[in-house]
Chain A
């Protein structure tokens, strides 16, 4: 199995310099997933990838001014969680949340408008890349203060619990947020109050420019769940079929049990902490690691398997790619021509 039987009190950093020894890596396994769902997964991952590439290019050429933290390489986690959500589930994101948002609504026009500060943006151009929201589709907001939405998502769990609904809340955060005290307070609260909150740690090994071994004594952040008697699971963050199968079942169980759960998805971001640059982020060179992680591209892994199993032809893939590119180009052009907010909006939304 893919779960590392780690001694949580020993360091697991030997893997960091040799990703092929990551014991949680697993093979794509399409069994028990319908073709329709598999194609939907692929579509969503490619849509997110191309949307973020569009954003990346336009950060580089200066058209987009607001800070953009890109999740290229991490798409599988958001797509698997998004496909496992049902009506009434509530997800909260952080600074790197374009994927969380698009996984739920595929609304690239709304996201593009938002990063351009346009009135048609998901936050009416008031938030930019770091403050995106789509409550109708279950995305309750993202903020860039590290760890800040963790207690808020826990509170959404409290809402669901008080209303006795069969739903759950999701808190997306990264390995860096595990160094904030608020995570530990929130895990304790969720555990002691039996709140239906899924804590999803996207452990991409980096917080800004520092690798995890420079910040924590262990690779696995799920050790913190153990301290609060919350069940947890370490997953291959680049394997969408594994993520989806596990999340789908676990979400069903949490909606009924109203007990929190901690998922740690190990992955890697291809870009620097913020902006368009790839292997150079505040002086950090990661090109060697990156080339190995590119071989574990979550999209590539799924595509290879679907083609191998004849569930997708190369022609169909090309068609899907083209459709997505057309949508993105047309949404981007439309967003460029969209209106900026009225100047009165500065004061319109301070109070109700």
Chain B
């Protein structure tokens, strides 16, 4: 019986780095899932971002919802050069965030839709966040990069695992 849900690669940063990138992604699956844990930034509070196939043209857009313990709010953005997984200065130097990112039909010939859930609890960033992103590009995805919005490094100890999910 074929494997339908398996880890492809895991990266744990031994030192602060500008991004975590999974490249040369296998075309053996239907969907991709990335679980990011212990995500912290080297300075300030930053948005957690994602880039596909190295594309930094302004073809990303998002719709998001956030709960902070008091209010549920929503925001939206267009013409971004990156996917905004948790827009609103999410990650910080001290509060680890965790994200689950689902990329659907990553080999398909449609534009790509990405769902993401992010959570963090702490004094600088204590919110739960869900988002849907659109990458207006019909290319198959072969690389995914996770990074901060403000050209700030991701802290050592951040871990990301890429999974492949294959349908029958």
Bound together: no
